[in-house]
Amino acid sequence: MLVLKNAHHTYDARTTVKLPELHTDKGDHLLITGLSGSGKSTLLHVLAGVLRPTRGTLTINGTDLYKMSESQRDRFRGRNIGVIYQQLHLIDTLSVEVNIRIAQYMAGIPEDLNRIRDLCSELGIGEKMRSYPGQLSQGQKQRVSIARAVVNEPALLLADEPTSSLDDLRSEDVVGLLKKMAEKTGATLVISTHDSRVKRHFDNVVDLELPVGEVA
Ligand SMILES: Nc1ncnc2c1ncn2[C@@H]1O[C@H](COP(=O)(O)OP(=O)(O)OP(=O)(O)O)[C@@H](O)[C@H]1O
Ligand SMILES: [Mg+2]
């Protein structure tokens, strides 16, 4: 389903992040762990198609993502990849409902308000659809960003540190929700974390080493 080969990303002369070889099948759940600075967000951004690796290839369902033009890749992402970013990237001036609708709009998928309503009630934010992000708790914002990521039923669901700002109970909750959402549609799930509480929920764990600097 997802294959990442021989990849690294160079930010500047002193910072090259080596990326692991990944090979996942449809429906796999994969956890990426590593200390702060080990490259979790870099990896997730490469997998999301928003950061072109300096070297290496990424294929998703047979499509080589970085061979496409940027607009083709945006369209592919909208339809096939759901992303929950470490900084949630909700738009503060838009309601919860519109924040989620945008994902449908961007992917060129017809708006489906019923789907959004069902999803929000399933995620426990059904009463908050007309609220603005600034009026929500951190956990509720996280759920809005989950709703936005899964609304188009992506084949690949990516979450960068989805539990870092949450307490133990909420953290279990969010991991459970992500797994449930992924299982419902048979999506491949990749979560990154430095949160050891999350590890016991995954059989498949890839641990990143700290960046080594120069790559030969
Ligand atoms: N835009 C950037 N420009 C230069 N260096 C960067 C940039 N983004 C990340 N880096 C560097 O790349 C390395 C990996 O960073 P990354 O954000 O991927 O780590 P992380 O594992 O997600 O860390 P955290 O757990 O703190 O979120 C770090 O050394 C970081 O300083
Ligand atoms: Mg990070």
At 144 the three-state DSSP class reads: helix
Residue 164 lies in a domain: yes
* 98 Cα to the center of ligand 2, angstroms: 27
Residues 6+ apart with CB under 8 A from 183: 27
Mean pLDDT of 11-26: 95
With respect to residue 215, please indicate whether it lies within any of the assigned structural domains. Answer: no
How far is C-alpha 177 from the chain's CA centre? 13
* Model pTM score: 0.93
In a domain, 214, yes or no: no
How does pLDDT run across 75-94, given as a tens digit for each residue?
999 999 999 998 889 999 99
The answer to whether position 212 is within a domain reads no
Asked if 118 and 45 count as a contact pair (C-beta separation under 8 A), the reply is no
Decide whether any atom of ligand 1 lies within 6 Å of the 37 Cβ.
yes
- Between 138-150 and 113-122, two packed helices, what is the crossing angle to 10 degrees? 140
Q: Is 60 exceeded by the pLDDT of residue 1?
A: yes
Q: How far apart are CA 86 and CA 153, in angstroms?
A: 20
CB-proximal residues (5 Å) to ion ligand 2: 40-41, 86
Residue 104 within a domain: yes
What's the number of domains the chain is made of? 1
Please, is 74 exposed, middle or buried when counting C-beta atoms within 10 Å of its C-beta (0-12, 13-18, 19+)? middle
Residue 135 belongs to domain with CATH number: 3.40.50.300
Torsion region of 155: left, alpha or beta (phi above 0 gives left; psi -120 to 50 gives alpha)? alpha
For residue 198, being part of any structural domain is answered with yes
Is residue 216 assigned to a domain?
no
- For residues 162 and 60, what is the distance between their CA atoms, to the nearest angstrom? 22
The answer to whether the CB of 33 is under 6 A from ligand 1 is no
Amino acid in the structure at residue 58: L
| pLDDT one-digit tens code per residue, 23-63 | 999 999 999 999 899 999 999 999 999 999 999 999 999 99
Examine the pLDDT at 214 and tell me if it is beyond 70: no
Find the 48 Cα to ligand 1 centroid distance in Å. 16
Burial of 137 (0-12, 13-18, 19+ CB in 10 A): exposed
Q: Residue 87 belongs to what domain range?
A: 2-207
Residue 65 lies in a domain: yes
- Rounded-to-integer distance, Cα 150 and Cα 171, Å: 18
